[in-house]
Amino acid sequence: MIIQSVLTTLALAAGVFFLAVAALGFRRLPDVFSRLHVLGVIDTLGAPLILLGAAIYLGPQLAAGKLLLGLAFIAITSPLVGHLLARAALESGLRPTLIENPDDIPARFGKSAKPLRTREGR
């Protein structure tokens, strides 16, 4: 019983952590394509860990099996949905935000953003 509680707590805490990080990234990232990456984090890490934690908490029951089937469904359909959304965005005329000069990052995304290193600057 204690192992079940510990596993439930770990899975739920990890799922909530990934959902919180993804929410921050979704708010902060500049364009649709970057935000689709966050969607992938939510689909592959956040939601499945929460479903897994709930299934562990319920134990061997029919409801736990349904949660695991939902987890499998998310794992199978998530890449397809991300691909279709990106393709629809491209076909509607949206283009990814490109940064020509890494030194422009703080000006475009706020002072807390740090410039990327270039290959010459390593």
**How high is the pLDDT of residue 113?**
53
pLDDT value for 49: 92
- Among 64-73, 87-96, 101-110, which is the least confidently predicted range? 101-110
Q: Taking the CB of residue 1, how many other CB atoms lie within 10 A of it?
A: 6
Give mean pLDDT, residues 29-45: 81
pLDDT tens-place string over residues 62-86: 999 999 999 999 888 888 888 888 8
Instruction: Give the span between the Cα atoms of 23 and 34, in whole angstroms.
Output: 13
Q: 122 pLDDT band (50/70/90 cuts)?
A: very low
Per-residue pLDDT band at 56 (split at 50, 70, 90): very high
